[in-house]
Chain A
Amino acid sequence: MLLPADQPGVVAPFDDVTIELCRSNPDVMIMTADLQPYVDIFRVPKERPKQFLDVGMAEQNLLSIGAGISKAGFIPIATTFACYASRRAFDQMVICMGTGPRTCVVIGFTPGITSPARIHHQSTEDLAMTRAVPHATVIDPVDATEFTQAVRASVRQPGLVYMRGLRGTVSRLLDPEKYVFEVGKTYCLRDGGGPGIIATGAGTEWAIEVSRLLEGAGIDHALLHVPTLKPARQEEIWRFCAGRSRVFTIENHNIVGGLGGLVAEVMADHGGGPRLTRLGVPDHWAPGGSLGYIRQSLGLDAESLARRIKEAA
């Protein structure tokens, strides 16, 4: 299902999927808090104005108004930056959107270290926070193919859905003709012996770069993509880990509480397993700047990651 390297990116896939959803379902309401063009919402306000609501610069209101909208029979897709959706309005997300059966979708853009503005615009704890909410669905998509399909799936998912959003020119890694996103499912992007790499979101893109480097160096390995952090199919993760001596997780998130946390929990629940190395944002604040610079500073560039895995292999 992986496409060959260097595919052209997809421009503003969120705009495509939101107008498609609004055209096919009059109950979908696209919401934002003063970030309409910054989260790639372009056509819905013009073509379907009744299905667009900008609440102004008020993220607590975005999520609590959104919860009210859902109680009037709509399916809100509330968009803002991941840092605000999680840190700033977490109580509203949990209490207003997360305690009932109605579908409420929250999409947090520029997640993890993909914002250049240090700390306040970055979100390296959102997956840990939302993963701890009972019955929530938590998705970190890797590319335009998966993001588009996950947004389509989210409006059919009961209760709170928290998803990380991708904006601008978004990488195309998965073949839209072959890839089918399913909530909870894990995807083996490369089968093999040796070290296992488990990744999610942008971490999977980094892991694919690493995988190509390892392949070039003749190092056998396997790669599992886990877009749904919750509900996670723990047995699939365990089956991937079992029998290996080393497993690495790669994620665009603090190594605490996200994918690394999930895999550690799966192994602990099974009473052991391979040695786990969690790669991601170490438990301190990431620098600001370009993504390339931040990745390099944190040892998350492809070469550094590949070196860590080679040393262990």
Chain B
Amino acid sequence: MKGRNLSITELEHLALKMRRNVIDICMQRGGYAGQGVALADLGASLYFHEMRPDGKGWYHDVFVNSNGHDAIMCYSAFAEQGLYTMDELRTYNADGTDVDMSPCEGRRGFVITMGSLGQGPSQAAGIAYGERVRGSDKRVYCLLSDGELQEGNVWEAAMFAGHHKLDNLVFLIDNNDLQAGGNTRNILNVEPVPEKFEAFGFKARRVNGNSIPEILDAFAEARSTKGKPYAMVCDTKLFQGSPYMQTRFPTAHFVQTDMETWKAGLAELEGLIAASHADAE
């Protein structure tokens, strides 16, 4: 597993590789490619910088992914960590695979059964509360989506976390203004998101979810925030960082397309990785 404290350039390079992995995995049988690509910067920052290793091949800190389809981002990181091989991950969305599109508790790398939306934040808050009672310094991170904020359970969790001043808990909101049926702002507007969490006792900050420096800065702020949980509202755009795919599928919740298109997307990212590698050298 990669250690912590990679440089921003190294993290950006890793995020490109994660994007490439997302396309490679999803091109087999379709998948949640847009979310995976858009969340690569947040995922790289979380898995390769923010969360502390436990020295036993996994993490001391806990990541709870609430939103099942965002598991594709986790898989793209797991390929870089060696938790899964790319051959395994290419069985994503195949019959009989263990690489669930929306994983259940006990699958390698996943803590909860994801995908029944709105339930991750409470479970993360429960873990954070339990770890604090134990006297542990574990930090708990929960990724959820803006559409998920429409679930009442999220706000029960927020009220609990604020009341108990769970400063070992960070909510990461993938604020992409998209949900299954269209734009979040049109279906049921969730904004202003940071202010809502502040009203529930959080310290909250809106960041560009595709800026690793901004994400790292917010993580540092979260770590130094005492007596309050933290909400990082990450504004993202589907397929951000993969210009070709973003032009083709700006709002696709799930992508299934012809192999030629996938290959063009993959080739563009291979080119960006090569250029990034040359830059790093």
Tell which of A56, A58, A100 touches B113, judged by Cβ atoms closer than 8 Å.
A100
In the complex, which residues of chain A have a beta carbon less than 8 angstroms from the beta carbon of B116?
A: 91, 95
Q: Give residues 58-83 of A contacting B (CB, 8 Å).
A: 58, 60-61, 64-74
- A60–B128 Cα distance when bound, in Å, is 17
- A256–B252 Cα distance when bound, in Å, is 44
**Contacting pair B129 A68 (CB below 8 A):** yes
Give per-residue flags for B107-132: 1 if the beta carbon is below 8 A from chain A beta carbons, else 0. 00001110010010011111111110
DSSP class of B's interface residues: helix, strand, loop or mixed? helix
In the complex, which residues of chain B have a beta carbon less than 8 angstroms from the beta carbon of A67?
A: 112, 122-123, 126
What is the distance, in angstroms, from B130's C-beta to the closest C-beta of chain A? 3
In the complex, which residues of chain A have a beta carbon less than 8 angstroms from the beta carbon of B62?
A: 71
DSSP class of A's interface residues: helix, strand, loop or mixed? helix
**Contacting pair B127 A99 (CB below 8 A):** no
Q: B104 on the interface (CB 8 Å rule)?
A: yes
**Contacting pair A61 B153 (CB below 8 A):** yes
Q: B105 on the interface (CB 8 Å rule)?
A: yes
Q: A55 on the interface (CB 8 Å rule)?
A: yes
Q: B84 on the interface (CB 8 Å rule)?
A: no
Give per-residue flags for B138-161: 1 if the beta carbon is below 8 A from chain A beta carbons, else 0. 000000000000001100110110
**Contacting pair A64 B123 (CB below 8 A):** yes
**Contacting pair B129 A99 (CB below 8 A):** no
**Contacting pair A68 B153 (CB below 8 A):** no
What is the distance, in angstroms, from B103's C-beta to the closest C-beta of chain A? 11
- Quick one: closest A residue to B157, CB to CB? A61
- Quick one: closest B residue to A101, CB to CB? B106
Q: A270 on the interface (CB 8 Å rule)?
A: no
What is the distance, in angstroms, from B111's C-beta to the closest C-beta of chain A? 6
Q: B134 on the interface (CB 8 Å rule)?
A: yes
Our count of residue pairs bridging A and B at CB distance below 8 angstroms stands at 95
**Contacting pair B159 A58 (CB below 8 A):** yes
Q: B133 on the interface (CB 8 Å rule)?
A: yes
What is the distance, in angstroms, from B19's C-beta to the closest C-beta of chain A? 30
- Quick one: closest B residue to A59, CB to CB? B156
**Contacting pair A91 B119 (CB below 8 A):** yes
Q: A96 on the interface (CB 8 Å rule)?
A: yes
What is the distance, in angstroms, from B200's C-beta to the closest C-beta of chain A? 13
Q: Give residues 174-195 of A contacting B (CB, 8 Å).
A: none
Tell which of B112, B128, B134, B156 touches A96, judged by Cβ atoms closer than 8 Å.
B112
Q: A136 on the interface (CB 8 Å rule)?
A: no
Q: A53 on the interface (CB 8 Å rule)?
A: yes
**Contacting pair A71 B152 (CB below 8 A):** no
**Contacting pair A64 B157 (CB below 8 A):** yes
Q: Give residues 234-251 of B contacting A (CB, 8 Å).
A: none
A65-B125, A67-B126, A73-B134 known; A58 vs B105 contact (CB < 8 Å): no
**Contacting pair A68 B156 (CB below 8 A):** no
Most chain A CB inside 10 Å of its own CB: which residue of B64, B126, B157: B126
- Quick one: closest A residue to B106, CB to CB? A100
**Contacting pair A69 B134 (CB below 8 A):** no
- Quick one: closest B residue to A98, CB to CB? B113
**Contacting pair A71 B111 (CB below 8 A):** yes
What is the distance, in angstroms, from A297's C-beta to the closest C-beta of chain B? 36
- A96–B131 Cα distance when bound, in Å, is 18
In the complex, which residues of chain A have a beta carbon less than 8 angstroms from the beta carbon of B157?
A: 61, 64-65
In the complex, which residues of chain B have a beta carbon less than 8 angstroms from the beta carbon of A29?
A: 130
Tell which of B104, B130, B152, B163 touches A72, judged by Cβ atoms closer than 8 Å.
B130
A65-B160, A95-B113, A100-B106 known; A60 vs B122 contact (CB < 8 Å): yes
What is the distance, in angstroms, from A129's C-beta to the closest C-beta of chain B? 16
A56-B160, A60-B122, A60-B152 known; A69 vs B112 contact (CB < 8 Å): no
Tell which of B123, B134, B156, B160 touches A71, judged by Cβ atoms closer than 8 Å.
B123
Q: A92 on the interface (CB 8 Å rule)?
A: yes
What is the distance, in angstroms, from B93's C-beta to the closest C-beta of chain A? 20
**Contacting pair B122 A64 (CB below 8 A):** yes
In the complex, which residues of chain A have a beta carbon less than 8 angstroms from the beta carbon of B106?
A: 99-101
Q: A87 on the interface (CB 8 Å rule)?
A: no
**Contacting pair B160 A96 (CB below 8 A):** no
**Contacting pair A50 B133 (CB below 8 A):** yes
**Contacting pair B113 A72 (CB below 8 A):** no
8 A-B residue pairings within 8 Å (CB atoms) = A60-B122, A64-B123, A67-B126, A68-B130, A71-B62, A72-B129, A95-B113, A100-B105
19 A-B pairs besides A64-B126, A96-B123, A100-B105 with CB distance below 8 A are: A56-B159, A58-B160, A60-B153, A61-B153, A61-B156, A65-B123, A67-B126, A68-B122, A68-B124, A71-B111, A72-B127, A72-B130, A72-B134, A74-B133, A92-B119, A95-B113, A96-B113, A99-B104, A99-B106
Minimum-distance CB pairs A-B, first 8: A68-B126, A72-B130, A64-B122, A61-B156, A68-B123, A100-B105, A65-B126, A99-B113
**Chain B residues within CB distance 8 Å of chain A:** 62, 64, 104-106, 111-113, 116, 119, 122-131, 133-134, 136, 152-153, 156-157, 159-160, 163
